[in-house]
A and B are shown apart, each in its own frame.
Chain A
Amino acid sequence: MKNPKQKMLLVSGSIAFMSILFTSCTPVKEYQKGRINDSEMVLGNRKIEKTELSFQSYREGASGANAGKSGGGCGCN
């Protein structure tokens, strides 16, 4: 993303994509949620990923937006 024009294009594209996605939703009733409720379909992090998410946040400059902790504890080694 080198210039503001490209940034604007990307933001507009993302908003358009999300709008299309959310407006094309089909209502799903509780009894139809068999697949959605499968444990592998979860949108958050799973317990087994806890340590790898910690080391990624220590070894990389970026963190957050992954439904996890956003601070606390050093991990400075």
Chain B
Amino acid sequence: MKRIFITGFALLGLFQYQLRAQNVAADSTSYQNKKLKVDEVNLVSSYYKQEGDNSAVTGGIGSEHLTDIANTIDVKLIKYGENGIKHTFDIEAGIDHYTSASSDMIDLSANSSASSSDIRFYPSLTYMRENEEKGRTFAAGVSSSSEFDYQSFGGNISFSQKTKNKNGEFTAKFQTYIDQLKLIEPIELRTYGSNGYDSANRNTFAGTLSYSQIVNQRLQVMIVGDIISQNGYLSLPFHRVYFADGTVHQEKMPDTRLKIPLGIRASYFLGDTFIIRAYYRYYSDDWSLKAHTADIEIPVKLSQAFSLSPFYRYYTQTGTKYFKPFGEHTAADEYYTSNYDLSKFDSSFFGMGMKFTPPNGVFGLKHWNTVEIRYGHYTRTTNMTSDIISLNIKYK
């Protein structure tokens, strides 16, 4: 945690220095607006902790204790071209450090193994070209995510067009992720004498269509739909499944999955103090999993500089047909998992956000203008609970 704060303060200082340099330049001519400049920086840190007793690594029994510390920095740079086109570069880098009791049980006899903790690093870069006059935006991006047993490369392109009166916007987006995972088997299922780990591929292709509309001065809505197709190795190699006859197996799932989620969002400004943000999603896939998600958040503006945002999210899903608890699968099952994330359950997530926008900036640094803290508690009917606290400091 100490390191996080030291890094945060170092970045605050760095961008404050950059800001002074920009302010000096801004005093000269309008030509300076054509230069690339820092538009927004977000520093986000989160601490996540979960508890439960249905780990998939130990076949649906055993500790799900997990902690994760995530830090991301997101820098948005903008530049206007000679023809008035706005160019935006969004550079993001994130690093997670997690400890996981379940991963430690890949080797059941080890007191503590190398898999008990890991680091994930995930940078991304997005370029956006916006013609503000025509209301047309084109964007493209690349991303990657690396951890010990998993490597992912992603790419995306999108196109947005606003309506003539600029009250509506249509967006089409295509994303792909090409992933490779090391096949780390539970220790008792490994073949001795083999060197290193085998690997397998997992590919994801996602198409998104969305339309947002300003209904009046206080209300806007958006509908969004995805079609997500996955193929390759979709199981996890270190998930155990214990059959009714007492034998242990690796989780086995189909090598294709088609997901179709449809969502609707709305934001409504009630009076001058309350905002109601609502979201609903229906989800269905060909592993026979169906889910409903409903989310409401009500930011309350207590003053110009301070707002509180209580929120509640309800989620319910049917289990996939391939799920059975510990010791219930049989050799007649073609596919099998005891991963409770794919079982039937309901969950609730609730908490509160606090947002400060001090007029003189955070710690007196004028352009570091927002600090946001958000805490949430998650409970699942499978007796899993988790807590998350996040901090966002914004430079604008």
Chain B CB count within 10 A is highest, among A32, A47, A72, for A72
The minimal Cβ–Cβ distance linking A33 to chain B, given in whole angstroms, is 7
| Contact indicator A61/B320 (Cβ below 8 Å) | yes
Which A residues are CB-close (under 8 A) to B315?
Answer: 56, 60, 62
User: For residues 310 through 348 of chain B, which have their beta carbon under 8 Å from a beta carbon of chain A?
Assistant: 315, 317, 319-320, 341-342, 347
When the two chains form the complex, which single residue of B167, B224, B287, B388 contacts A51, counting CB atoms closer than 8 Å? B388
Closest CB-CB distance, B41 to chain A, in whole Å? 10
- Whether B275 contacts A50 by the Cβ 8 Å rule is no
Give Cα A61 to B194, complex, Å. 34
When the two chains form their complex, are residues B279 and A66 in contact, meaning their CB atoms are under 8 A apart? yes
Q: Assuming the A-B contacts A43-B220, A61-B289, A67-B210, are A38 and B74 also in contact, with contact meaning beta carbons closer than 8 angstroms in the complex?
A: no
A interface majority secondary structure: loop
> For the complex, is A27 an interface residue (Cβ under 8 Å from B)?
yes
List of B residues within 8 angstroms of A47 by Cβ:
42, 44, 72, 74, 392, 394
- B213 near A25 with CB under 8 A, answer yes
Bound complex: CA A65 to CA B280 (Å):
10
Q: Is B166 an interface residue (CB 8 A)?
A: yes
Q: Which of B275-313 contact A (CB under 8 A)?
A: 275, 277, 279, 281, 283, 285, 287, 289, 291, 293, 299, 301, 307, 309
Contact B267 A51 (CB under 8 A): no
B353 at interface, CB cutoff 8 A: yes
Minimal Cβ-Cβ distance residue in A for B222: A43
Contact A72 B154 (CB under 8 A): yes
B221 contacts A21, CB within 8 Å? yes
Chain B interface mostly helix, strand, loop or mixed? Answer: strand
Closest chain A CB from B152 CB (angstroms): 4
Q: Are B347 and A60 within 8 A (Cβ)?
A: yes
CB of A9 within 8 Å of the partner chain? no
Instruction: Tell me how far the C-beta of A28 lies from the nearest C-beta in chain B, rounded to whole angstroms.
Output: 5
Q: Are the CB atoms of A42 and B291 closer together than 8 Å? A: no
Nearest CB of chain A from residue B312's CB, rounded to whole Å: 13
Mark interface residues in B137-155 (1 if CB within 8 Å of A CB, else 0): 0000001010101101110
Considering the chains assembled together, what is the distance between the CA atoms of A72 and B142 in angstroms? 11
Given contacts A41-B267, A72-B145, A76-B150, contact A64 B228 (CB under 8 A): yes
Minimum CB distance partner of B289 in chain A: A61
Which A residues are closer than 8 A to B by beta carbons? 18, 21-22, 24-28, 30, 32-36, 38, 40-43, 46-52, 54-56, 58-67, 69-74, 76-77
Top 4 A-B residue pairs of the complex, sorted by shortest distance between their CB atoms: A71-B204, A65-B261, A65-B263, A51-B46
Cβ contacts A to B, 5 pairs, < 8 Å: A41-B275, A61-B320, A62-B291, A71-B175, A74-B236
